[in-house]
Chain A
Amino acid sequence: MELEKVRHVLEKCARCGQCRARCPTIDANDEGVPGWEVFSPRGRMQVAKGLLEGVIRPTRAALDGLFTCFYCNQCVETCPSLANVTDVVIAARKHLVEGGCAPASILQAHETITGSKNMFGLDQDDRIELWSGDVSDLVEAHVGKHAPLLYFVGCQASFKGGLANIPVRMVQILDKLGEDFTLLGEDEVCCGNPMELTGGPDEGLKELAEANVNKIAELGVRRVIFTCPGCYRVFKEVYPRLLGKGLPFSCAMASEYLAEKIRSKDIDLKPIQLPGKVVYHDPCELGRHMGVYDEPREVLRAIPGVDLVEFKHNKEDCNCCGMGGGAAMYDAKVSDFQARAKASDIAEVDACSVITHCPACFQGIEKACGVLNARGAGVEVLDLVEVVARALGIE
């Protein structure tokens, strides 16, 4: 009984409503959507409590409330009672999945991941094919080899053509820095993040965790590098719980790895030309969930020519881009709305480039930039590794 496990969190909630202040789905706005109490963190807590106590049924409003949460953790940052609201949201989603009451789109997604080992239902053979392009020789040379360092690409960057530049640049950076590295190739399976966020069953998740961890261990890897905070968080926080033991390797986001290289002076970053101001967007799963705020900034500040500015709401208070928590899988409109809100943040700082460090955020920020560019703004979105690659002279 998943909700029973979070009863103590539900009891922490004093229903003060402070969480309403920064929750993106209840936030007061000109367009006034969604606005109903059920879209607030407090409302979601009450829905979970009602389900736990069996006093409400999983109605449409219950599903809408629970499955539109971006998992951004603003509520957790805000809560004066220190209640981990997003833990409750995930437990409630799991409760609904176990009870067969989850939305069809969510159940379908779980089935796809379990069956195809990736979130897009595509052939695993395409995991490298779809992004490697011009660097296919370089990639081929590293896939499946024994090495101390492994780059875990993740489903988004592997299968979504628009994100191909992220793994391409990461592989080129590792090559340029002379790393002895490896990739799993078609043996890489979904980390399980979308399943975990949307209440997927532990057995399915465990199977994915075992497949990834066993294969990585077989290659003698001591450290895994990520460009996706979703994968990173699941490896670091969820896998040890699922597997009942620590991982036989360490995990680092690319920015953490690159910041170390900068500190040890093992990287030579040349000046680059990025027009105008550059702003960094903190991905929710990397920032509020994993506490990684400084390294991406450290990396960007080390690159001559980057005029880094900050959002008014940044770091712990950074506004979500709308792509988190699996909400877009349930209701794309909620996600699109948040992208428009993010566009206002970008316009406010008058940035020409938005840098992020997450393939999901890349897509959310792209939507936000699309809103601004339709008004003639000319804002570009880049992943952090693309910027670093430019500073290393990689074309």
Chain B
Amino acid sequence: MVPEEVIKELEAAVGAGNLSTDDAMLYVYGFDVSDVTGKPDIVVRPGTVEEVAGCVKVCAKHKLPVIPRGAGSGATGGAVAPTGGVVVDLTRMNKILELDLANLQVAVQPGVVIDQLNQALKPHKFCYPVIPGSDKMATMGGVIANDASGMRAFKYGTAKDYVLGATFVMPDGSVVPFGCKALKNVAGLDLLRLFAGSEGTLGIMAEFRVKVLPLPPSRGVLVAYFEDLETAGKAVINTYQAGIVPSAVEIMEKSALEVVNKYRPQAGVKVAEAMLLFELEGDLDFVESQARSIGYVLDALAVGDRQFSADPAEAERLWSARSAVGAATSVLEEGHNRVYEGEDICVPLTEIPRTLRKLRELRDKYRLGTVIFGHISIGSLHPAITIRKSDERDWKAMKELAAEIHAWALSVGGTVTGEHGIGVARKEYMAIMHPGAYEVMKRIKRALDPDNIMNPGKIF
């Protein structure tokens, strides 16, 4: 129970009407996509950097946990409060502060939604290319704090690659600006890349300056079906070796093709061992020329079953199979629903075929409906496990299955998370993945946040 005087101090910092201690309100802030839960004691919704800093100062004074939160679309428990404390909901700070397109950059508040930014950039023929699957609701703050990426990561990298500057609110409430308007900057330690991906454990990034890129004028989609997983894996590498850089290469394993076929027959999906979707961008001639080059790669591998279109409507139809996977998973089996565990492994590209086979083997072993798909371009796989949520046995089996998926990813030189992060959900793997380096991370954390008020229980 937080003393009344603390509530008054926080209210003074954030303004009347922007603080809640309502029991139901606190309850809904106790969830994100993961199964980690934690009800805060207070939720505040600051509107300015000063208000964020004011809240953090109060929390620092009273040693209260501070949990920064965007849209709550994370899958690791990063935005919930397992130890109570103050959730700082940053979605009120949703303004695009500056479009400085002549300098290829924009300044935004952390609550700006990725799609909101891209809609604002579109008329100017620019884009922010970090587009996670959650781009319609995920916020810039959340995306950068988790160093998110998505299906175009192979070509465009991850969120940290686009941050030119940020205003940090440190764990003592002090405000520290960092970065500049130059597109390159190697002056001193790179605090931007330290904070990006730190999941709110080092402070709150309360404003950003990020790089933007020209919007590609056209887009084509090439779909190819494979009767063995090795050939699918080879097709990706051979495409790269042919000098082609697709903006995305997605894989849908047989399980994904089957459910999409059942859920959305109009997508015209065929059932094979795997389907690859190549997304190509550029002017139309370039897109078509890249598609021809991929065609040669596929010819050499004797893959004949494929379709290509650069027509926007037809390309959208081809892509619709991939877009439908999420919903299709929901109809996999009556009464079974998706859970987000073991859902974000990333493995070396050469290990993709073996990993896909391993995932099938584990699915059969645990008898839990699991749909397999992912960003094969960069080795990210998203096995979507479904369970009967009211059945304890399913929960137990799912936990064991997720643990085996993680163990496999580590055994082949991969990671338990390619893009969703650690949070609470995967914290146990930190010491395993980073023997030695985890201690260095802890030292940095202790140096910046000696009272461990910033998002405690996450990563560390």
Contacts and interface: CB of A to CB of B under 8 A. Distances in A.
Nearest to B139: A28
B20 A61 contact: yes
Nearest to A12: B337
B338 to A, nearest CB: 5
Interface residues of A, number: 37
Contacts, number: 108
A37 B339 contact: no
B24 interface: yes
Interface stretch (B4-12, B89-97, B100-108, B310-318): B89-97
Interface stretch (A14-22, A236-244, A258-266): A14-22
A184 B372 CA distance: 58
A56 B24 contact: yes
Most chain A beta-carbon neighbours within 10 Å: one of B20, B339, B340: B20
A14 B33 contact: yes
A14 B29 contact: no
Interface in A91-118: none
A35 B25 CA distance: 12
Contact of A17 (B25, B33, B390): B33
A50 B137 contact: no
A37 B72 contact: yes
A28 B24 contact: no
A119 interface: no
Most chain B beta-carbon neighbours within 10 Å: one of A28, A38, A81: A28
Interface string B22-37: 1111011101110000
Given A14-B337, A17-B33, A82 B331 contact: yes
Nearest to A46: B28
B125 interface: no
Interface stretch (B111-119, B146-154, B208-216, B248-256): B111-119
A65 interface: yes
Contacts of A301: none
Interface in B383-397: 389-390
Contact of B28 (A11, A32, A43, A57): A43
Given A14-B337, A57-B23, A82-B330, A32 B94 contact: yes
Most chain B beta-carbon neighbours within 10 Å: one of A22, A60, A82: A82
B326 interface: yes
A333 interface: no
B45 A47 contact: no
Given A17-B71, A20-B137, A82 B327 contact: yes
Interface string A1-28: 0000001100110111110111000001
Interface in B109-145: 111-113, 115-116, 134, 136-137
A14 B25 CA distance: 19
Nearest to B29: A37
Nearest to A19: B137
Contact of A36 (B23, B25, B32, B111): B25
B20 A36 contact: yes
Given A17-B134, A28-B111, A81-B327, A37 B28 contact: yes
A37 B89 contact: yes
A15 B31 contact: yes
A335 to B, nearest CB: 20
B109 to A, nearest CB: 11
B416 to A, nearest CB: 20
Interface string B335-365: 1011110000000000000000000000000
Chain A to chain B: the 3 pairs with minimum beta-carbon distance, closest first = A80-B326, A21-B136, A62-B24
Interface of B: 20, 22-25, 27-29, 31-33, 43, 45, 47, 71-73, 89, 91-92, 94, 111-113, 115-116, 134, 136-137, 326-327, 330-331, 335, 337-340, 389-390
27 contacts: A7-B390, A8-B335, A11-B337, A11-B390, A14-B337, A14-B339, A16-B33, A17-B73, A17-B134, A17-B137, A20-B137, A21-B137, A22-B136, A32-B92, A32-B94, A36-B89, A37-B89, A46-B31, A47-B28, A55-B27, A59-B23, A60-B22, A61-B23, A80-B326, A80-B330, A81-B326, A82-B331
